[in-house]
Structure 1
């Protein structure tokens, strides 16, 4: 009995084993980023169940309950997850200073592009980019290390490995573009999700079609877009994979523009490797589009001599 009592005293005097950090995320790319950073040292908790549309989502009671269990929440914070900030406002009004939730702004260190069709707004699609993704992963790892110092070095080491892998991927595809003459290429996009990715290859978007993401242009706006495409001799249109935009077919028929599809990375099941898999798909598409443009340009130039 005495030995048992002594054992209880010893157990009571031992420091409690801390639970794993619970890290929330608002969007699919951040699930990939955080998964790579934390490995098995923390728990990742999506704020919203898979299958939602981030542009029109309204928070549910179950989402708020999940939010209250988190130690940190990784957010886009520049226009793509406004639903989360409505939830944070609700949490603050309920708990006040009693909330210990840390909000990690993934884009804190990312040089931002202006939104194409909104005055005074930023383009929030930083996650469709290699360089911006790397900056976000570093920011996430740094902030999680502050919350969980025991695993801080592990998080930062994983961030470095992620960055190395992504930069190697970009290098592989950039090498396939060496020697191509892309000075004359003109690009349209259904919306401005791909500005960060194209910027990495020295290319800008000449016209953005949708007045806002997911909002189809009116008949008059569509006609003006067709006129701009013809006048500027735009040759390539990037649109969203798995999105049935009827007006894209109208533009294609009216202008003869070539259509290529990029992943927006915000749909489907949450997946650790979604970002790397779909980014590689986007890079393959980008190389295909630029090579076909360069080949057609060479043919036209050769035929005119």
Structure 2
């Protein structure tokens, strides 16, 4: 489960929002007025995969500035702590692009205090995988290329609605990038559909959508919450699964320590590979495409 934001921090941030709104009430014009004033339309994204998706859609659109709220090395937002700097960033934006599906739920109270801020929800109409017990829906939609395609379309359509003067450009950019994603998806299916080994063990719950898309079976998860070391019993259970199943590959993530996976590998002889959930990386247009292609090559090697 995600760690809750402290009550004191929430109160402090909401108080700051109230002061900001009081000072700026009636001074936040819509997108068209921003352009008329010669000021950029500022779009803020919640974290790295939403930033990469959005800069592809806004490429070469005049008068639009895209800012990523969190640092590009943050990773998933499971334990992210909202900061006063984030508040300032959001307060200066007109549009906030989120993954949705509960990934940014820790921000609900703050965002509700910014009524002029328009929300673009990339998870619209995407079926969610329900977690076990109190885990809730799995929010790691973008790790599936098919979901990333739908998220790109969602962002493009919603931006076109909010900024109709540039609707054609958003639509054209979305179509171009979706074409690249579809080409990569076909390439990955060609590479992975024929692999004999289908059972994998992953680092945390980032890959169910990816596994579903490529017909892989996640038999165990080393750390259900990244950064929380598995107990001795959990390690023992995973070791037994590997020994019984003959699985010879473990997949860690570059954003987190591989210590637990290495312990399991030492006990079983399995090899440790890196599978990237695309939650950090270079702030470049083709970053998602490049990272997913590396994942494809890693899986080809690990599952052959």
Q: Common fold, TM-score beyond 0.5?
A: yes
In the aligned structure 2, how far is the partner of 1:47 from the partner of 1:57?
A: 11
Report matched runs for 1:203-218 at 5 Å: 203-218=216-231
Q: How far did 1:49 drift?
A: 3.7
In the aligned structure 2, how far is the partner of 1:85 from the partner of 1:234?
A: 41
Q: Counterpart in 2 of 1:147?
A: 162
In the aligned structure 2, how far is the partner of 1:120 from the partner of 1:210?
A: 14
Change (3 A) 1:213 1:118: farther
Change (3 A) 1:31 1:179: closer
Q: Counterpart in 1 of 2:143?
A: 128
> Does the CA contact (< 8 Å) of 1:26 and 1:84 recur in 2?
no
- Which of 77, 90, 99 is the aligned partner of 1:67? 90
Change (3 A) 1:257 1:77: same
Q: Counterpart in 2 of 1:47?
A: 69
* TM-score normalised by L of structure 2: 0.80
> Does the CA contact (< 8 Å) of 1:109 and 1:136 recur in 2?
no
Query: 3-state SS of the aligned residue for 1:199?
Result: helix
CA deviations over 1:11-67 (Å, ceiling 9, x no partner): xxxx94564422110110111100000112221022234443533322222211110
Q: How far did 1:268 drift?
A: 4.3
Q: After alignment, is 138-147 or 230-239 more displaced?
A: 230-239
CA deviations over 1:209-255 (Å, ceiling 9, x no partner): 21323211111221122123323333332211253221111111222
- Which of 20, 25, 46 is the aligned partner of 1:26? 46
In the aligned structure 1, how far is the partner of 2:267 from the partner of 2:36?
A: 69
Query: 3-state SS of the aligned residue for 2:186?
Result: helix
> Does the CA contact (< 8 Å) of 2:97 and 2:119 recur in 1?
yes
Q: Counterpart in 2 of 1:165?
A: 180
Change (3 A) 1:105 1:24: same
Query: 3-state SS of the aligned residue for 2:247?
Result: coil
Query: 3-state SS of the aligned residue for 1:214?
Result: coil
Q: State the number of aligned residues.
A: 267
In the aligned structure 2, how far is the partner of 1:163 from the partner of 1:86?
A: 33
In the aligned structure 1, how far is the partner of 2:48 from the partner of 2:135?
A: 26
1:289 and 2:302 equivalent? yes
- Which of 196, 200, 219 is the aligned partner of 1:187? 200
Change (3 A) 1:55 1:172: same
Report matched runs for 1:1-305 at 5 Å: 16=36, 19-41=39-61, 42-52=64-74, 54-89=77-112, 92=113, 99-115=115-131, 118-119=133-134, 121-177=136-192, 179-182=194-197, 185-268=198-281, 270-291=283-304
In the aligned structure 2, how far is the partner of 1:49 from the partner of 1:177?
A: 32
* TM-score normalised by L of structure 1: 0.79
Which structure's CA Rg is the greater one? 1
Change (3 A) 1:67 1:178: closer
Q: How far did 1:149 drift?
A: 0.8
RMSD: 2.3
> Does the CA contact (< 8 Å) of 2:48 and 2:70 recur in 1?
no
In the aligned structure 2, how far is the partner of 1:267 from the partner of 1:120?
A: 23
Query: 3-state SS of the aligned residue for 1:22?
Result: strand
CA deviations over 1:166-206 (Å, ceiling 9, x no partner): 11112223223465434xx3211121212222222111211
